[in-house]
Structures are given as C-alpha cells and as structure tokens.
C-alpha cells in the first residue's frame, strides 16, 4: 500500500475565505499624486502581465495527474480567480497613474467589462504559442510516465509564488509610492496562502518519495527559469530581477532568503536558483553594456532616498484568512518593515 500523503495546509479554511482581493480601502484617486520611476513602472507592467497569465499555467496543470486530485483542483479553482484580480489591480493602478494601453479604459469599480486589457492578454498568449496547445504535450507525457510528476508542478509553483511575494516586498522597498505600498500589501496576503499550499503539497510528496526528490531536483537544476520567462524576453526578466534583487545588499538578502526557503525542502539542499540567476544576469550586463537598461556604474535609486512611508502597514482585522509568515524570508521582511515603521514613528515621519 502506498504511503499516505499528509499535507500541512488548511484547505477548508482557504476555500471558505477565498475571494477577490479587497481593495475597497485603497485611495485610487491618490495614485497619480506620487511619482514612480521608470523601473517601478517596468515592474508593474511585468507583474500585471504575469498575474493575468496564470490561467495558462492552470491549463498545463490540469493536463496532468493533478486533475484527478480533489484537493489540488479545489485549490486551483480559487487560486486562478484570485490571480485574475491581482492582474486587474495592477492594470487599474497603471491606468489611473496615466499609463494606458490602446484598449478601452475602465474604472476600478467594476462598471466596465473584463478583462481590462483584452488585446494585451491575447497578444501575449499568442506570442508564446499557447494557441495551438502543443506546449502541454511534454507535460502530459511526463505525467503519464511518472506518478510523482505532480511534485514538479507543486515545487515549481511554490518557487513562483515565493519569488512573486518576495518581489512585491522588494518593490515596496524600492518605491516610495504609498498607495502602491497599500495595494501590494493586500496582494501579498493572497500570495502567502498560495505559496503555503504549493509548498505543503510539494513537501509532502517529496518526503514520501525518493524518486520525487531526485526528479524534482534534476528538473529544477536543469530546466528551471524565473517566473515570467517565456512570456517575457530574457532581457525583460533580467531587468526585473536586477531592479528588485540586484540593486543593493538588501536585495541580495531577499534573493538569498528565497533560496534558503526552497533549499529547506527535502531533496533540495544546497540549491541556489535565484542567486545563480542573478549572477548570470549580472554577467550578461557586464558583457553587454545597456542590457536590461543598466549602464556601467549607474547609481542605485534607493541609496540615499527617503524611507518608505508608514502607509505600508495594513490592517488585517477584516480578513479572517490572513496567514502569519510561512517562511523565514517572509518573517525577515516583516521584521524589516516593522523596524522601519517604528523608526518613522519615533522621528515623527509619515
């Protein structure tokens, strides 16, 4: 008899509390009042596109054994809905800031049709070849051959979600826009739960199966790419990674925290996926000056800038499903933000 897979995640609680991210308290009218750098805008475009592209990842998952697992399919039904609204949030923010795509505008109150950027979403998916469905063939074959194949998807999803939520923390560190801070904090709460589910699923399967551990490690070591690769060009992925994690020692610490969290999963000890990618991106910049928008010896924007305002700290009292930090990298980020908040309060800043 096969060993039972014990997953450390309260799925019932998640399903009962899943909903569209609540941005009703966001001061949308204040979005254009604060400046964003070109790098901030680049990050928001990237994040908007990737959040809205989640449904394609769902398609690939449902072409595997995951479709027969009632826990996974229940989670995915809510997950893809929540991710859709993350993409819409970034879209609304950019539009209100004054950056518009050539499609009809929409207010963030739900009075106009969805999706807000239909042409952009369609063009992205056609560009990466999702129209013909051939991309899922290797996934289907791998799933048929190995019962442990789903562990790859669960671990890949965990890395994507942890990288995403840590990237949002990094953007909070880099930008001084208080409304963006508020919005990102809301989205981070959803991403935490998503990461917790994928991590719990992957860990349970890898603890149970030596074959799963070996297979997942080989796939990550050989085939892994950062979230957004394939949808975005190599230069765009490098630009995002270096802006968020390659700008300062603090950025590197955030990247290292992701690696440490992933390496704590059975079978993945010693993996340094994010830092290895950053090192490679820096080599590409050194070899091609101007690559990813980076010129030699460019000053760091955040070097001597003001600390983030107090608005970053959001009340979670109305959200019964808010989770505490689920990994060391999250706890580290929360502690850093708390320290900044206390410093600002002591100085009378805001």
How far apart (Å, rounded) are the C-alpha atoms in residues 77 and 55?
10
Q: Which pLDDT score, from 0 to 100, does residue 116 have?
A: 55
Spell 150-180 as b/e; 16+ CB within 10 A means b. Answer: bbbbbbbbbbbbbbbbbbbbbbbbbbbbbbb
- Nearest partner of 257 among 239, 244, 266, judged by Cα: 244
First to last CA, the chain: 60
Encoded tokens for 154: 């669960």
Per-residue pLDDT of the chain (350 residues; tens, 9 = 90+): 344 556 778 899 999 999 999 999 999 999 999 999 888 989 998 998 888 777 777 777 777 777 788 899 999 999 999 998 999 999 899 989 988 653 333 333 444 444 455 555 455 444 544 444 434 445 544 444 456 788 988 999 999 999 999 999 999 999 999 999 999 999 999 999 999 999 999 999 999 999 999 999 999 999 899 998 877 889 989 999 999 999 899 999 999 999 999 999 999 999 999 999 999 999 999 998 888 887 654 443 444 433 333 333 333 444 445 566 767 777 777 777 666 656 655 555 44
pTM exceeds cut of 0.85 = no
Residues 271, 220 contacting (CB under 8 angstroms): yes
Q: Report the alpha-carbon distance of residue 127 to residue 133 in Å, rounded.
A: 13
H or E element: which one contains 212? helix 210-223
- What's the pLDDT at 322? 55
What was the pLDDT predicted at 340?
60
Measured distance CA(9)–CA(45) in Å, rounded: 32
| DSSP state at residue 107 | -
CB 316, CB 322: distance < 8 Å: yes
Tokens of 322: 């808010």
Of 74, 87, 70, the closest CA to residue 5 belongs to 70
Angstrom CA distances, 101 to 41, 106, 229, 298, stand at 13, 11, 22, 30
Cα-trace Rg, the chain: 20
129's tokens: 């070849």
């Amino acid at each position: 008899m096969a060993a039972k897979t014990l997953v450390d995640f309260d799925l019932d609680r998640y399903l009962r509390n899943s909903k569209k991210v609540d941005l009703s308290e966001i001061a949308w009218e204040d979005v254009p009042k604060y400046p964003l750098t070109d790098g901030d805008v680049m990050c928001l475009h990237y994040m908007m596109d990737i959040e809205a592209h989640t449904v394609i990842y769902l398609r690939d998952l449902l072409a595997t054994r995951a479709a027969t697992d009632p826990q996974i399919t229940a989670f995915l039904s809510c997950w893809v809905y929540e991710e859709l609204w993350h993409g819409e949030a970034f879209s609304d923010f950019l539009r209100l800031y004054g950056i518009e795509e050539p499609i009809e505008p929409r207010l963030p109150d739900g009075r106009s049709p969805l999706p807000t950027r239909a042409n952009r979403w369609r063009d992205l998916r056609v560009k990466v070849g999702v129209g013909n469905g051939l991309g899922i063939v290797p996934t289907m074959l791998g799933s048929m051959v190995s019962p442990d194949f789903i562990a790859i998807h669960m671990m890949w999803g965990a890395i994507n979600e942890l990288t995403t939520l840590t990237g949002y923390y990094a953007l909070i560190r880099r930008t001084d826009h208080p409304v963006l801070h508020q919005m990102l904090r809301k989205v981070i709460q959803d991403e935490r739960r998503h990461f917790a589910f994928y991590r719990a699923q992957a860990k349970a399967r890898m603890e149970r199966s030596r074959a799963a551990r070996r297979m997942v490690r080989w796939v990550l070591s050989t085939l892994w790419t950062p979230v957004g690769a394939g949808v975005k060009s190599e230069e765009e992925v490098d630009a995002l990674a270096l802006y968020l994690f390659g700008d300062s020692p603090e950025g590197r610490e955030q990247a290292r925290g992701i690696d440490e969290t992933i390496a704590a999963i059975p079978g993945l000890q010693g993996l340094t996926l994010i830092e290895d990618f950053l090192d490679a991106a820096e080599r590409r910049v050194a070899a091609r000056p101007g690559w990813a928008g980076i010129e030699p010896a460019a000053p760091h924007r955040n070097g001597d800038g003001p600390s983030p305002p107090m608005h970053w700290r959001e009340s979670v009292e109305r959200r019964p499903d808010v989770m505490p930090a689920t990994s060391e990298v999250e706890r580290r980020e929360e502690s850093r933000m708390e320290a900044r908040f206390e410093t600002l309060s002591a100085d009378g800043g805001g």
